[in-house]
Amino acid sequence: MQQDALSKTFSALADPTRRAILARLSTGESSVSELAQPFDMSLPAITKHLKVLERAGLVTRSRSAQWRPCQLQARPLKEAYGWVEQYRQFWEQSLDRLEIYLQELQTAAKPAPTPTPTPTPKGGQHE
């Protein structure tokens, strides 16, 4: 089954190693060996992660002599953000409605104010 671009993006983002690779690439291009340094895994394992990121359009690799730098491609992240954003708006509106409802409940639950007695002058005499 062919995945759409958004599904590929979320699938690639599902793995913490791939998210860490993207975070590293957000600071600038890097080689595969530079990307592998903080991880306790082989270069072939990092390469497999990079291939998933490439298929999702999140990373590109180029060739510069012996160096094959990897670069972050942010467009798929922007598209994923746009999809998630509509749900953020939904939840904000739902929470706003809940806040209004709770305020209405609190107002309805407040007891009516009791009248305060009129103070009597000292000595119990009225003027």
User: What pTM does this model have?
Assistant: 0.69
**Calpha distance 9→3 (Å, rounded):** 10
- pLDDT of 38-50, one tens digit each? 999 999 999 999 9
Please enumerate in sequence order all residues whose Cβ is within 8 A of that of 41, keeping only pairs 6 or more positions apart, or say none.
17
Q: How many Å apart are CA 90 and CA 37, to the nearest integer?
A: 41
Closest CA to 83 of 24, 32, 7: 7
Predicted local distance difference test score (pLDDT) of residue 111: 75
Q: What is the pLDDT of residue 73?
A: 95
Q: What is each CA distance from 86 to 32, 78, 94, 127, in whole angstroms?
A: 35, 13, 12, 70
